[in-house]
Amino acid sequence: IKAIESPNKDDDTQWLTYWVVYGVFSIAEFFSDIFLSWFPFYYMIKCGFLLWCMAPSPSNGAEFLYHRIIRPFFLKHEAQLDNVVKDLKDKA
């Protein structure tokens, strides 16, 4: 997220955005997969969702989800997240 929000952006912003969205999706799916796998067509819907996220268009799913959900959450809690990372780094 820090690389996406940095002032000097390269052409890899689209893929960085996709991997951030995929990471958040994977964490959410880890905890809910046991319940969601019982729904019919879950794996087809999951595949369609991931294809929508990596579609090669400027308004793909990863851009939409990142700018609407992940980025506002991150910017709201950026100071706390930076403190947690700093504390973990100091302990390591």
How do the domains of the chain map onto residue ranges? 9-91
Length of the chain: 92
pLDDT digits (tens, 9 = 90+) for 20-69: 999 999 999 999 988 888 889 999 999 999 999 988 887 789 989 999 99
Q: pTM value? A: 0.75
Q: Write the CA distances from 76 to 42, 49, 72, 82, integer angstroms.
A: 32, 26, 6, 12
Q: Please compute, for residue 38, the number of CA atoms within 13 A of its CA located in the half-sphere on the CB side.
A: 3
Q: Which residue has the higher pLDDT, 10 or 30?
A: 30
